[in-house]
Structure formats: C-alpha cells, structure tokens
Amino acid sequence: MYIIAHRGSSSTAPENTIAAFDLAVQQGADYIELDIQLTMDQHVAVIHDDTVDRTTDGSGPVRNYTLDQLKKLDAGSWFDERYAKERIPTLQEILERYSQRIGILIEIKHPKRQIGIEKAVVDIINRFSYSRHIMVQSFDDTALQRIKADAPSLRTAFIMKPSALKLTKRKLAVYSSFADCLNMKKTMINRWWIDRIHSFGMDVFIWTVKDQKTANRIKKYPIDGVVTDHPPFFQKKK
C-alpha cells in the first residue's frame, strides 16, 4: 500500500510547500500529492485554492498573478512563523526536485475554469522520464480523457465523489478507459467495491485520512494507496 502525503506532510508543515514535501520524503511516504493552478502568464503553480487568500499573505485569484508576483508571497507564515520563507513552487520545480526521489500525484483543480491546463501539465511532465510514479488525478473525467489522449502511458486517477456510490459494471468499464486508479473517499470504502474495481484492472486509493483511528481501520483493506495528512500513521515496519 502506497503512503501518499496529502499536499505533503500537511499536518506538520504548510501545505503544498517544499517544507511539507521534504518532510514527507523524510517520513518515508511513497508519494507526495499536490494541487495545481494556472497563473496569469500560464505557468503551473502548486497551490490548492483558486485564490491565494487562505495560504499566503496575498489576496485574490491565482489567475490574476504572474509567476513572478506569486513568488513574492509568503506561503508559510499562516501555518507557523518558522515557515515565513516558504514560497509557492511550480510543478516544474517539484518534478526537478522530487521525480527521482518519490512518487508524485498531481491533482488538476477546476479544469473547466483553466483552459489548457491539461496540455500544460503533459508538456511539463514530458520533460522528465515517464514512470509509474508520476500520476495525474482529477474529479473531472473530461480532463483525464484529455490527458490520456495526449499521453496514453501517463497514469491517471479519477477521484470519486461520495455521491457516486453505484459502481455498475458499465460505469467501471467507462472509468477504466481513462483511469488507472479510482480514488475514493474514506467513508465509501468496503471490500466489495475494492474487489470489483480491481476486477476492472484499476487500483484503489482512499482519501483523506486525518486520524490514527481511521488509519487503523483503513489498514485492514486490500487497497493500493492511502492519502493522508500525516504519513507516520502508516509507518512501515523495517
């Protein structure tokens, strides 16, 4: 089972920053998960929200900033003053720093409001060696279909909404045409769904574990990966 650090080790460092990703590596995570948004000048920035208000000292939509302007924002003090020097990284910077060290799970946020983001992501990933350990995920099936059309060998994960409980054979056949993995909310998990998804050749990931009690429950299931704010919940035995 892969340990996937949600926005890095986001329980102990500011999310989607180098500090959080470095800590996830140190804690033995198998993947870092991150979120991306397009800047005004079409750079791919690593930030969860479509505004900078919550996680920086700036305000307004990410799309209203150039990359140079984003880089001037403090992306760490909101979490703790120790992280005042943290800045918003780009996807390019993340791949350069981590692609040979840890798996990377890239979530495309709001693709309908970010025209061209799928191509931008594929273009950046194409500068690096493809591997099983670079994946793109989204709640948007159309975005993943575009990814697969441009880069058939790039692994993808479809994030399931909690309302999507009826995983019929017909639905699973469609999902398996553009997704290598289904990423399900922790409350959706049961052995029957896991076995059925596996029978269609897809992996099963679970999101997002935030406490040890839930972690202990999740460990009992034959899933392929778990997204967590705190990788040590799933510390592997040496």
Question: Does 121 fall in a domain?
Answer: no
pLDDT tens, residue by residue, 64-92: 999 999 999 999 999 999 999 999 999 99
Is residue 126 in a domain? no
CATH at 219:
3.20.20.190
The DSSP code for 220 is T
Residue 237 pLDDT class (50, 70, 90 cuts): low
pTM: 0.96
Work out the number of other CB atoms within 10 angstroms of the CB of residue 142. Answer: 12
Per residue in 102-157, pLDDT (tens digit) is 999 999 999 999 999 999 999 999 998 766 799 999 999 999 999 999 999 999 99
Query: What share of the chain has pLDDT > 70, as a percent?
Result: 97
Residue from 113, 108, 104 nearest 132 by CA: 104
Task: State how far the Cα of 44 lies from the Cα of 111, in Å rounded to an integer.
Answer: 12
In a domain, 55, yes or no: yes
Which helix or strand (DSSP H or E) is residue 124 part of?
Answer: helix 117-125
Give per-residue pLDDT as tens, 15-41.
999 999 999 999 999 999 999 999 999
Asked if the structure places residue 127 within a domain, the reply is no
Residue 206 lies in a domain: yes
Distance CA 43, CA 15 (A): 19
Number of domains observed in the structure of the chain: 1
Q: What is the CA radius of gyration of the chain?
A: 17
Bridge pairing between strands 103-108 and 44-46 = unpaired
Separation CA 31–CA 90 (nearest Å): 17
**Residues taking part in catalysis:** 6, 48
DSSP string across 10-25: TTTS-TTSHHHHHHHH
Answer yes or no: are the C-beta atoms of 150 and 175 closer than 8 Å. no
Whether 136 maps to a domain, the answer reads yes
Structural domain contains residue 111: yes
Q: Which is nearest to 215 in space by CA: 201, 233, 192, 230?
A: 233
Residue 154 lies in a domain: yes
Supply the pLDDT for residue 199.
98
Domain holding 111, by residue range, is 2-93+103-116+132-234
